[in-house]
Chains A and B, each alone.
Chain A
Amino acid sequence: MTSTDAETTIRQLQKQNRILAKQLKRSEADRAKLEDFNRDKESILKRIICELQESQSVLEKKGQDLEQTLHELTLTQSKLVEAEKMAALGALVAGVAHEINTPIGTSITLASTLGDETKDLVKAMAQGSLKRSRFQNYLKVAQNCAALLFINLDRAGQLVQSFKQVAVDQSSLEQRTFLVKPYLMEIITSLSPHFKNTYHQIDLVGDDTITLNSYPGAIAQIVTNLVTNSLTHAYGDGDHGHITLEVCAKEHYILLRYKDDGGGISEQNLSKIFEPFFTTARNRGGTGLGLHIIYNLVTQNLQGQISVSSQPDQGTQFDIKLPVHLKKN
């Protein structure tokens, strides 16, 4: 290497050295800026983490509050459901008591009549003034009274029997095998006080021999609620309503079709009727639980399905499909 070449190489190396030194200085400055930047970012990040932690605590507290509220609401709801059931039972008791009052009252009158007649007869015998014709008359009255007493007490007994069955089933929800149509008849009978002083009519149609192994109490509750709903919401004063309850056996299920020809349900409300606490009659004491209870009884206790179709002024129809055999839970 000549001295000129060496000088050139040294100059180039010196230039490289200057460039590298400058780049190093620039890198150092950039690194310092980056460190500042990172510190800023870190402080922002720390602040955000603190805020997130605070938010998390607030959310956890809110979550606990919500859980507590939900728990309380569930309790309240089940209490309300229970209260509604008891209210339905109460209405049933009142209706049945009113119904029984008539034969019992008649029986008391008859027993009183028979007592008075017997007392007069005993008195006449003691005085020795008893005539044959009078004795024969007494026997006629006694026979009539006994016959009427039997009829009235039998009627009262029937009412008590049907009420007992419905009330016991409703409160105990015991599973048993039963004839569907006769059972529905008993329910309708127990509901007959509701139809007094109205022009409404309820018809039961279908095969008498259909049996079901299920919870009759649930069915009683369902029918009671459906009838009460129709009477409360579907008809106005003086309407001549016609309710039909039909039972028929399909291939894999029993269809219970309930139909009224009342005012129907608007499209807007139709999608909400099974929701708990949805009611259009809160000002008249409606709780909005009747149809919700029906829905729960059909889908849970009876393992069935319920659907509704209705249009304003076209009446409402509920189709309840019940499995012939319940699956064991």
Chain B
Amino acid sequence: MLKIAVGHSNDPDSLEAAQEVLEQCNQDLAGQAPQVGLLLTAFDFEHSIILEQINATFPDLQLIGGTTDGELSSVLEFQQDSVTLMLLASDEVEFQTGVARHVSQNPVELTRQAVVNAQAQLSSDPKFCIAIPESLTASGDDILQGLQTALGATVPILGGATADQAEMKCTYQFFNQEVLQDAVPFLLVGGNVVFSYGVASGWTPIGKRSQITKADKNTIYEIDGKPALDFYHYYINNFVPSAAYPLAVFPAGEDRFFLRGSLTHDPEIGSITVSGDIPTDATVQITEASLDAIISASKAALTDALKHYPGKQPDAALFFSCSWRRYILGTRTKEEYQEISTSLDSNLPICGFYTFGELAPLRDGGPTVFHNTTFTTLLLGTP
């Protein structure tokens, strides 16, 4: 049995918002003590006040979370400048949180070590991991490598990178009562739990598939032996590379792709710096999408997750949607949630946020990939 509560407040006052959220959660829990919580808030709040309030209400709660670019829940659907909290209680599902601090110093090793430490607290092997990593100080791919090395290639990692409402200056992560920067809080889930996930973007690769011939981390210097910018300009004239036309990246030998949006470019040498690392020997294609296709992707991701869900009915859903989708969709952002709400039980607790990068495997059993511009769905429950 898995008991899940969700609270969501759009009150800009940190204390009032925290109290409202806790009040809603308490009603859902009906006296049951939660073991773990996921807190997602806008950047502007006084986060320490919110964490104090939660700790005062649930002193034994393990909590992870972070700042976002927009919040989603089954209570208030899509909001900006709000606080949402999901609490989970179960006597058969095992939860263990952990945190890697100062990850920019050594993202792979510090993250790996933090997971190893957390795993030692679990009585069973983790089935999956939810991570809310820092997005601006360290490479998302390095963080992922650390997590994956400790967990093994077959344990999926899902989640999203913390955000700061498009300022790209600093983001916060939450771990129990602490407000952190440069950290990776995560939750390992084991025991009698079932889950499934789905990823979709709405972008479609078009044009010729070309070989990355020179790249370093997240900077692409050459595609097919020519400056990377030439490749972009061939398709979209002399427009500046933008997130609206991300690159579909196919790792070597893989027919599924993940997306990389352009962050900056250097017109002198013709390089493009993208939102995540590019694997060696990858091939790329330009992509395009309509607003309708982007909105439909949320349903596609949910449908995929529902199709593969091993239990009868999920007990909760978590959504991680890319902040670029929100910028591109503008006032239509709310339609992403509306598109999927009709396919789900109206009582299903849902929580999620707009991220600076999503984590999910490309396929079942495959390693987790750091995505951009996707809508990622995680369904969980007991068998």
Which A residues are within 8 Å of any B CB, using their own CB?
Answer: 15, 18-19, 21-23, 26
Contacts and interface: CB of A to CB of B under 8 A. Distances in A.
Interface stretch (B6-14, B139-147, B279-287, B346-354): B6-14
Contacts of A22: 10, 12, 81
B16 interface: yes
A15 B20 CA distance: 11
Nearest to A16: B11
Contacts of B16: 15, 18
Contacts of A26: 80-81
Nearest to A40: B240
Nearest to A20: B12
A21 to B, nearest CB: 7
Interface string B1-38: 00000000011110010000000000000000000000
Interface of B: 10-13, 16, 80-81
Nearest to B16: A15
Contacts of B11: 15, 18-19
Instruction: Summarize A's interface: helix, strand, loop or mixed.
Output: helix
Contacts of A19: 10-12
A10 to B, nearest CB: 13
Contacts of A15: 11, 13, 16
B237 to A, nearest CB: 10
A21 B13 CA distance: 11
7 contacts: A15-B16, A18-B12, A19-B10, A19-B12, A22-B81, A26-B80, A26-B81
A264 B11 CA distance: 93
Given A18-B12, A21-B12, A23-B81, 14 more contacts: A15-B11, A15-B13, A15-B16, A18-B11, A18-B13, A18-B16, A19-B10, A19-B11, A19-B12, A22-B10, A22-B12, A22-B81, A26-B80, A26-B81
A19 B8 CA distance: 13
A209 B3 CA distance: 113
Contacts of A18: 11-13, 16
Contacts of B12: 18-19, 21-22
A13 to B, nearest CB: 12
B125 to A, nearest CB: 44
A39 to B, nearest CB: 15
B298 to A, nearest CB: 22
Contacts of B80: 26
B329 to A, nearest CB: 14
Nearest to B11: A15
A81 B16 CA distance: 95
B84 to A, nearest CB: 15
Nearest to B166: A33
A15 B10 CA distance: 9
A18 B80 CA distance: 14
B45 to A, nearest CB: 10
Q: Which of A19, A21, A23 has the most CB of B within 10 A?
A: A19
Contacts of B13: 15, 18
A48 to B, nearest CB: 10
Contacts of B10: 19, 22
A145 to B, nearest CB: 92
Nearest to A19: B10
B364 to A, nearest CB: 40
Nearest to A21: B12
A15 B15 CA distance: 12
B309 to A, nearest CB: 36
A26 B13 CA distance: 15
Contacts of A23: 81
